[in-house]
Structure 1
């Protein structure tokens, strides 16, 4: 991808159920632009898009719901059961998500912006253009308990979901900054406020 954003670009990541959304909401409340890979992943395969056409060509029209949108629950079950299907779907979606995020970072006129990228550790080689990595970190036991409670699933399935992602150690190795989210959510206020000031200082240095 060509072009370096003029804004400081901070990639925010963390494992499933780590509390990334609670952190991004606090940055947004401070006026920081947040561009979300999950939003991008929906937009790049919206009805009528080239991305969705490529998904249908690869997997057949049975992946669509009656309204012509991707049947996400059915697709999720399929890629969870078939690693080759998951890789095929990611090969269609991930490059488009990266381009979407890069375009928005290039257009950014704020001092800094956040890119919320859950699978950053799995795809870090493609995001060399970001300036910093912010990790929302929790111990594995906390992550498992929160995922079970959040999604109403059994611990075995929750652990399988966690195991499909990069390890905590891999994410920590990438991080420039770490927010410990193992405590109460209100503790995030001070952590985010401190990082906000740090990033403003870096952006204007």
Structure 2
């Protein structure tokens, strides 16, 4: 099994899975189901939110790099303004990533070292785009759904227009690229309740792989 780069050389890493999927695919729902079954979840998107929340470790650097107009009165990064800015200006996106990614790696490493579950699931929305997670986890699990379903879910959930959702999807890896990277695929075109039997099946598989070392 491949070892995440943040494990000490003297430490045997636990079995780990990289979970990903496009926006609106249902990654969080699936991850929570695995968590209920006993997996340790490390959500890089949640870590990014914490870093850019009031008092977060990234706030000072974001303020210095982008200006106070990108910080809300409460002291958090203005996610709506920043999203519009980085989509309109790709260099700004690289600038934001240069601030957040090292901090995310640091917090991910800390969380992984402290995890107590039977195995680890790293929830990484941009796993395929990042280019290095596939070599750092034993398996890649892709939550997949039809693109029209993705669009409808995100429009409803985030109150965005179709064009806005399509722009976000265009900035992510294609559905085909994610499926090509997958060791396991979990289809989520219907009701969330239909996911549990497949999640339980994968959980049993991952427990067996973890036990095998």
Question: Structures share a fold, TM > 0.5?
Answer: yes
Provide the aligned C-alpha RMSD in A: 1.9
Deviations 1:106-130 (A, max 9, x none): 3323220211111111103256322
Q: 1:21 aligns with which of 28, 37, 57?
A: 28
Deviates more, 1:188-197 or 1:175-184: 175-184
- Report whether the alignment pairs 1:194 with 2:201: yes
* 3-state secondary structure, aligned to 2:186: strand
- Report whether the alignment pairs 1:160 with 2:167: yes
Contact 1:7 1:110 in 2 (8 A): no
For 1:132-171, what aligned pairs fall within 5 Å after superposition? 132-171=139-178
Question: Structure 1 regions of 5+ residues with no counterpart?
Answer: none
Distance 2:22 2:144 in 1: 8
Q: 1:80 aligns with which of 80, 87, 100?
A: 87
Question: Structure 2 regions of 5+ residues with no counterpart?
Answer: none
Distance 1:76 1:153 in 2: 12
Query: What TM-score comes out, normalization by structure 2 length?
Result: 0.88
Corresponding pairs, count: 205
Paired residue for 2:7? 3
Paired residue for 1:40? 47
Paired residue for 1:124? 131
Kindly report structure 1 stretches of 4+ aligned residues shifted beyond 3 Å: 45-50
Deviations 1:16-39 (A, max 9, x none): 000112111211221222111121
Query: What TM-score comes out, normalization by structure 1 length?
Result: 0.91
